[in-house]
Amino acid sequence: MTFTPTRAAALARLRDFLPSTGSVYANERNADRGPNPATGLRDNVSMLSPAVRHRLITEQEIVAATLGRYAFSTSEKFVQEVCWRTYWKGWLELRPQVWRDYQASLVGWHAKVGDGDGVDRPIRKRWQAAVDGNTGIACFDDWTRELIATGYLHNHVRMWFASIWIFTLNLPWQLGADFFYRHLLDGDPASNTLSWRWVAGLQTRGKHYLARPDNIQKYTGNRYWPKGALNEDALPLPPDEIPAAGRIGELPLPKAGLRTALWLTEEDLHAESWPIAPVTDIVAIGGDVSPETRSWHPVAEPVIRYTESALDDGMARAASHWSLPAGRVRPADRHRWLADHGVQQVVTAYAPVGPAADALRAFGKQLKADGIALVQVRRDWDSAFWPHAAKGFFQLREKIRPVLAELQVP
- Per residue in 115-124, pLDDT tens? 878 899 999 9
* CATH number of 285's domain: 3.40.50.620
Query: What percent of the chain is helix, strand and coil (3-state, nearest 5)?
Result: 55, 5, 40
Instruction: Please report, in angstroms and rounded to a whole number, the separation of the first and last CA atoms in the chain.
Output: 32
| Domain interval for residue 199 | 96-219
* Bridge partner residues of 347 (DSSP): 262, 375
Collect all residues with Cβ–Cβ distance below 8 Å to 56 and sequence separation of at least 6: 5, 6, 7, 10, 269, 270, 310, 313, 314
CA–CA dist 326, 290 (Å, integer): 18
Q: Is the residue at 228 inside a domain?
A: no
Query: Is 106 found in the same domain as 38?
Result: no
- Structurally, the chain folds into a number of domains equal to 3
pLDDT score recorded for residue 225: 98
Q: Is the residue at 254 inside a domain?
A: no
pLDDT digits (tens, 9 = 90+) for 9-34: 999 999 999 999 999 999 999 999 98
| Strands, sheet with 345-349, edge to edge from the N-terminal-most edge strand | 326-328, 282-287, 260-264, 345-349, 373-377
Q: Is 347 helix (H, G, I), strand (E, B) or coil?
A: strand
Query: Is 55 found in the same domain as 133?
Result: no
Query: Is 109 found in the same domain as 78?
Result: no
Q: Is the residue at 207 inside a domain?
A: yes
Phi/psi zone of residue 376: left (φ > 0), alpha (ψ -120 to 50 degrees), beta? beta
Cα–Cα separations (whole angstroms), residue 281 to 48, 156, 260, 267: 34, 47, 6, 24
pLDDT score recorded for residue 42: 84
Average pLDDT score, the chain:
96
Q: Is the residue at 225 inside a domain?
A: no
In the structure, what pLDDT confidence band is assigned to residue 1 with cuts at 50, 70 and 90? low
pLDDT score recorded for residue 133: 98
CA–CA dist 46, 62 (Å, integer): 10
Of 219, 244, 279, the domain-final residue: 219
pLDDT digits (tens, 9 = 90+) for 69-100: 999 999 999 999 999 999 999 999 999 999 99
Query: Is 74 found in the same domain as 25?
Result: yes
Q: Is the residue at 191 inside a domain?
A: yes
CA–CA dist 121, 172 (Å, integer): 14
* CATH number of 188's domain: 1.10.579.10
Q: Is the residue at 244 inside a domain?
A: no
Collect all residues with Cβ–Cβ distance below 8 Å to 301 and sequence separation of at least 6: none
Query: Is 365 found in the same domain as 279?
Result: yes
How many CB atoms within 10 Å of residue 233? 7
Of 219, 250, 277, the domain-final residue: 219
Q: Is the pLDDT of residue 111 over 90?
A: yes
CA–CA dist 354, 234 (Å, integer): 31
Query: Is 367 found in the same domain as 340?
Result: yes
* Bridge partner residues of 286 (DSSP): 263, 327
Q: Is the residue at 116 inside a domain?
A: yes
Which helix (H) or strand (E) segment is 328 a member of?
Answer: strand 326-328
Query: Is 127 found in the same domain as 200?
Result: yes
Closest of 123, 160, 163 to residue 143, by C-alpha: 160
In the structure, what pLDDT confidence band is assigned to residue 2 with cuts at 50, 70 and 90? confident
Query: Is 74 found in the same domain as 57?
Result: yes
CA–CA dist 28, 21 (Å, integer): 10
- Ordered DSSP codes for 235-289: PPPPP-PPPPP------PPPPTTS-EEEEEBTTB--GGG---TT---EEEEEE--
Query: Is 266 found in the same domain as 160?
Result: no
Q: Is the pLDDT of residue 316 over 70?
A: yes
Tally the C-alpha atoms within 13 A of residue 342's C-alpha that lie toward its C-beta. Answer: 6
In the structure, what pLDDT confidence band is assigned to residue 315 with cuts at 50, 70 and 90? very high
DSSP structure class, residue 203:
T
Q: Is the pLDDT of residue 311 over 90?
A: yes
pLDDT score recorded for residue 39: 60
Query: Is 68 found in the same domain as 42?
Result: yes
> What is the model's pTM?
0.97
Query: Is 106 found in the same domain as 81?
Result: no
Q: Is the residue at 241 inside a domain?
A: no
Please state whether beta strands 345-349 and 260-264 pair in parallel, antiparallel, or not at all (unpaired): parallel
Instruction: Check the CA dihedral 289-360-8-39 and report its sign.
Output: positive
Query: Is 24 found in the same domain as 118?
Result: no
pLDDT score recorded for residue 40: 58
